[in-house]
Structure 1
Amino acid sequence: MSFTSHSPQPLMPLTGGKLVLGTVALSLAVFMNVLDSSIANVSIPAISGDLGVSPQQGTWVITSFSVANAISVPLTGWLTQRFGQVRLFITSIILFLLASTLCGLAPSMSVLIAARVLQGAVAGPMIPLSQSLLLGSYTPAKSGMALAFWGMTTLVAPIMGPLLGGWISDNYTWPWIFYINIPIGIFAAWATWSIYHKRESMTRKLPIDTIGLSLLVIWVGSLQLMLDKGKELDWFNSTEVVILGVTAVVAFIYFVIWELGHKHPVVDLSLFKSRNFSGGVVAISIGYGLVFGNLVILPLWLQTQLGYTATLAGEVMAPVGVLAILLSPFIGKILPKVDARLVASTAFAIFALVFFMRSEFTQNVDTGTLMIPTLLQGAAMAMFFIPLTSIILSGQPPDKIPAAAGLSNFVRIMFGGIGTSISSTLWDNRSTLHHAQLTEFTGSHNPAFVQAMHGLMSQGMSEEAAWAVIDHNITVQASTQGATDIFWISAVLFLMLIALVWLTKPIRSSAPIDAGGAH
């Protein structure tokens, strides 16, 4: 493969078969990347058992990928200017395939973690560059359509990941969750090179901002480790968590000061001067954090409290993809004709409705009732990513789009981790509080409790067994109330996010995003 940098003439949009093949290739690379961040989740017991470590140690397979990925995503802008977006994208795919092969061949947990760190690090530029290359392939008026195709893959992959990972672990061996990347990646790399190698972006030799990069690694690494270990170590009651937290805050403050004053920053924080970029990034990140946090709690609640198997819990979550896939092309088509802020507001309103419906769940909820809000959530997902990404990238000159896409994806991914940690901790705390409140109604002073005890003991149970049954029921009820508290809070926060969307400026309907030339 030979790569050459071309003059910064506005690129002509692709047409016909090249456009179709280019869209498929870029989307497949994103699908492979996003799939790998979730496919290992359900395979942790199989991996840890095979490599002779505890399931807790096995979770480092997920953590190591996410930490390395979070650090490399915001470097996309700098790396693109240094090497060119096509060259960087294809190198990212090839190195990802190499890392996937090493993951599958790993003889021990330490080797697997090292391979996952490499995999996460080289995967970083893939998602933002796929957005940038895709937007350059379509006319500005069709940019909504480009984002719709991109959005569909990012919506389907997290749903497919656990289902595919579970099926592979049950029917084959766990290394195959990594080996399946190889044919996908080879096709994506070949197709991308054959279509885009003459569409390389301009490159310029930039000095490496080593201090900025070091500070980025320190604060992101500390924050991610704090979020991953916090719940296990009882948060700020642990010296380790306090040290990680202080390190993250101090390094972050120094990082911001350094990057704003540096001539060639490793992360271009000046992008936040744009009202649409900053407003859009905050809205999409908080929204994503809420969705992702709840995405962890719902299946956990179903499995730990209501007796659902992992497969059944996956089936309850699966309908989210139906409306998301059906509506994404439609949203992409109408987006140039309507105000993106209106579409994003509709998404937040539907999310609010979904979580208000879930806040009414009880421990006796049936599968049909569980699936209705999940199905509706798919419509909100289709109206969430596409218009907000459109707002974030609007008005950015083509040379800034990789940096803007990289930085916005980085903040969104970080908020996903923060949302997960806050939601699971809040669920524990609220469940404990409800359990304490419910146990106040037990004892001989409560006729209903006495009657329940007599009823259970009349069935031949001992007093201890009857107590155990009632305590189990209280635990399930408390855990359910804890989960519904979080659903209710999420619904209120989604309604508040609507106001944030309207702080951004309207996008010109004729050209939401111009990837071929600056506004």
Structure 2
Amino acid sequence: MNNYVPYGDLKGGRLMLAAFVLALANFMVVLDMTIANVSVPHITGSLAVSSSQGTWVITSYAVAEAICVPLTGWLAGRFGGVRVFIFSLIGFTVFSIFCGLSTSLEMLVFCRIGQGLFGGPIMPLSQMLLMRIFPPEKQSQAMGMWAMTTVVGPILGPILGGAISDNLSWHWIFFINIPVGIGCAIAAMRLLKPAETATTKLKIDMGGLLLLVLWIGALQLMLDLGHEQDWLNSPFIVVLALTALVGLIIFTIWELTERHPVVNIHIFRYRSFTISVLALAFGFGAFFGSIVLIPQWVQINLGYTATWAGYLTATMGFGSLLMSPIVAKLATKYDPRALASFGLGMLGCVTLMRAFWTTEADFFALALPQILQGFAVPFFFIPLSSMALSAVLPQEMASAAGLMNFLRTMAGAIGASLAVTIWDDHAKLSRSEMVGTLHVDDVQATLIQKGVSSEGALGYISSLVDKEALTLSANHVFLILAAVFIFAALIIWLCPKPKIGASGSEHVH
């Protein structure tokens, strides 16, 4: 692959423009994962539904996207990567318009499913096409650009969502996709046609597709509803858990024995791909768990508004933007395992800093770990993405990118669910322990002496205990997440040493 020939006249300015279009399309889809998170209160208020029903706006998109991401390899093989990419962009934009025009929850959820189905393939295809149009020695830099949009998207989502919902109306969080979607689709038609992938008449693996929909749907529903319904104490959640587990086992056996599988599980035969993706999943799960927990904790405990919680989360964007191009250059010169291990180790240390937060923490104390985290994220994201994709054959690239993005997305959902559940459960435990050791009568008497009424004193003590319990519990979750980062940093060394600046044809088995 070193006798690389540019596709058509894709070099210089046109190549950079093509790369920008691919990264922007990916950014739009990733942004839509989190842009609705802060807008749920606005949406539920205007459609007159409960807040638990409102979360279906987020989860319906996630489920549809999770189902479609692993299908990318099959779709690209059947219809061509560029064709599927352009078609997905058009579909995503059309459903964004319908989401913004929705007048009922049912219509909005239906349109969000449509958005997710068309948005799913955009992520892995933008990644695969970037690897395809750049020469091998520039692929790490292309990955850097792509990774930047994937990391910055979820951070900007809540800020944009909050600002748009507060100042315009929630409908506009969907309408902003229209110019981006149309612009990217037209540019892709103009620029990317020469980079089209080869197609073959692949049979549709109907059994595999149905099993995929079944187990992913069950798993995502279990993660979304589990916390509300007290997990395995609810028969419904137990049924969902069993469906997901049995469905996954049957699906795996089915796909391994199918001649034209809808998801190419055989890609896991590359040790470098499997370990890289595993480390990426653990790292992203812990990362996503923390970015879901921090805004909630500062809003409940420190009285931050949604907008300020968004600003706090966004402080990590600076480091990510600054370091992504630098790390991309380093990845072509140094062992990517060392870079990824350093990044994950640094994320572990940063998360450990958070485990000592108190209710007196000021904005700087909260923002410092965020800023440092921003510098660390590209170190784990870019080398792992490059290592995973450079381990497979060029014709397996779309399937590999689909599998990698699917596992990363699912790890994020699992990480977020577990972080919030452990936080809530441990808070109850911490509260009961505190109440057991606290001499409430003495504290109440002291407050009454200072002129506080008896009820007022009890209320004050109760809210103090609640805040401390939530903080202790958040610290406990951060300790667990730090351990997950360190574990991910260690398992990378199980990968065989890749060739520095390896391309998609230089295999590492």
| TM-score normalised to structure 2 length | 0.97
CA deviation string 1:288-312 (max 9, x = no partner): 0111111111111111122111111
Aligned counterparts of 1:166 and 1:218: Cα–Cα separation in 2: 34
Aligned counterparts of 1:488 and 1:137: Cα–Cα separation in 2: 42
> What aligned pairs does 1:240-259 form with structure 2 within 5 A after superposition?
240-259=236-255
Aligned counterparts of 2:374 and 2:155: Cα–Cα separation in 1: 11
CA deviation string 1:342-401 (max 9, x = no partner): 000111111111011001111111111111100000011111110000111123121111
Aligned counterparts of 1:245 and 1:146: Cα–Cα separation in 2: 39
Alignment of 1:136 onto 2:126: no
Alignment gaps of 5+ in structure 1: 1-8, 444-448
| CA-CA distance at 1:142 after TM superposition | 1.1
2:34 maps to which residue? Answer: 38
2:502 maps to which residue? Answer: 512
Q: Is the 8 A contact 1:398 1:518 kept in 2?
A: no
Q: Is the 8 A contact 1:64 1:117 kept in 2?
A: yes
Alignment of 1:374 onto 2:366: no
| CA-CA distance at 1:462 after TM superposition | 2.3
Amino acid at match of 1:331: V
Q: Is the 8 A contact 2:132 2:195 kept in 1?
A: no
Amino acid at match of 1:490: L
Aligned counterparts of 1:220 and 1:311: Cα–Cα separation in 2: 33
1:279 maps to which residue? Answer: 275
CA deviation string 1:179-237 (max 9, x = no partner): 11110111111111111112211000111000000000000000000000000111111
CA deviation string 1:408-429 (max 9, x = no partner): 1101111111111111111111
1:93 maps to which residue? Answer: 89
2:454 maps to which residue? Answer: 463
Amino acid at match of 1:514: G
Amino acid at match of 2:267: L
Aligned counterparts of 1:137 and 1:272: Cα–Cα separation in 2: 25
Alignment of 1:347 onto 2:381: no
CA deviation string 1:270-296 (max 9, x = no partner): 011110111011100011011111111
> What aligned pairs does 1:375-414 form with structure 2 within 5 A after superposition?
375-414=371-410
1:307 maps to which residue? Answer: 303
Which of residues 286, 290, 298 is equivalent to 1:290? 286
Which of residues 59, 69, 83 is equivalent to 1:73? 69
Alignment of 1:82 onto 2:72: no
Aligned counterparts of 2:137 and 2:353: Cα–Cα separation in 1: 37
Aligned counterparts of 1:375 and 1:242: Cα–Cα separation in 2: 40
Q: Secondary structure at the match of 2:196?
A: coil
2:480 maps to which residue? Answer: 489
CA deviation string 1:453-482 (max 9, x = no partner): 222112322222212211111111111000
Amino acid at match of 2:485: F
> What aligned pairs does 1:230-269 form with structure 2 within 5 A after superposition?
230-269=226-265
Q: Is the 8 A contact 1:82 1:204 kept in 2?
A: yes
Q: Secondary structure at the match of 1:198?
A: helix
Q: Is the 8 A contact 1:11 1:199 kept in 2?
A: no
Q: Is the 8 A contact 1:320 1:378 kept in 2?
A: yes
Aligned-residue RMSD, C-alpha: 1.4
2:466 maps to which residue? Answer: 475
Aligned counterparts of 1:366 and 1:280: Cα–Cα separation in 2: 37
Q: Is the 8 A contact 2:4 2:135 kept in 1?
A: no
Q: Is the 8 A contact 1:144 1:512 kept in 2?
A: no
> What aligned pairs does 1:412-423 form with structure 2 within 5 A after superposition?
412-423=408-419
Q: Secondary structure at the match of 1:204?
A: coil
Q: Is the 8 A contact 2:133 2:195 kept in 1?
A: no
| CA-CA distance at 1:406 after TM superposition | 0.3
Aligned counterparts of 1:391 and 1:425: Cα–Cα separation in 2: 33
1:319 maps to which residue? Answer: 315
Aligned counterparts of 2:372 and 2:259: Cα–Cα separation in 1: 47
Aligned counterparts of 1:74 and 1:11: Cα–Cα separation in 2: 29
Which of residues 334, 350, 364 is equivalent to 2:330? 334
2:357 maps to which residue? Answer: 361
Aligned counterparts of 1:493 and 1:81: Cα–Cα separation in 2: 36
Aligned counterparts of 2:178 and 2:442: Cα–Cα separation in 1: 63
Q: Secondary structure at the match of 1:490?
A: helix
| CA-CA distance at 1:49 after TM superposition | 1.2
Amino acid at match of 1:146: A
Which of residues 137, 146, 152 is equivalent to 1:150? 146
Amino acid at match of 1:320: M
| CA-CA distance at 1:12 after TM superposition | 2.2
1:4 maps to which residue? Answer: none
Alignment of 1:19 onto 2:10: no
Aligned counterparts of 2:4 and 2:71: Cα–Cα separation in 1: 24
CA deviation string 1:4-29 (max 9, x = no partner): xxxxx965263211111101110110
1:5 maps to which residue? Answer: none
Which of residues 209, 215, 222 is equivalent to 1:219? 215
Aligned counterparts of 2:13 and 2:196: Cα–Cα separation in 1: 20
Which of residues 175, 178, 200 is equivalent to 2:174? 178
Aligned counterparts of 2:503 and 2:66: Cα–Cα separation in 1: 25
Q: Secondary structure at the match of 2:470?
A: helix
Amino acid at match of 2:221: L
Amino acid at match of 1:373: P
Amino acid at match of 1:501: I
Distance 1:10 1:210, change over 3 A: farther
Q: Secondary structure at the match of 1:208?
A: coil
Q: Is the 8 A contact 1:361 1:484 kept in 2?
A: yes
Aligned counterparts of 1:361 and 1:244: Cα–Cα separation in 2: 36
Percentage of matched positions with identical amino acids: 44
Q: Secondary structure at the match of 2:195?
A: coil
Q: Is the 8 A contact 2:137 2:332 kept in 1?
A: yes
Aligned counterparts of 1:257 and 1:119: Cα–Cα separation in 2: 30
Aligned counterparts of 1:497 and 1:382: Cα–Cα separation in 2: 15
Amino acid at match of 1:87: R
Aligned counterparts of 1:352 and 1:45: Cα–Cα separation in 2: 33
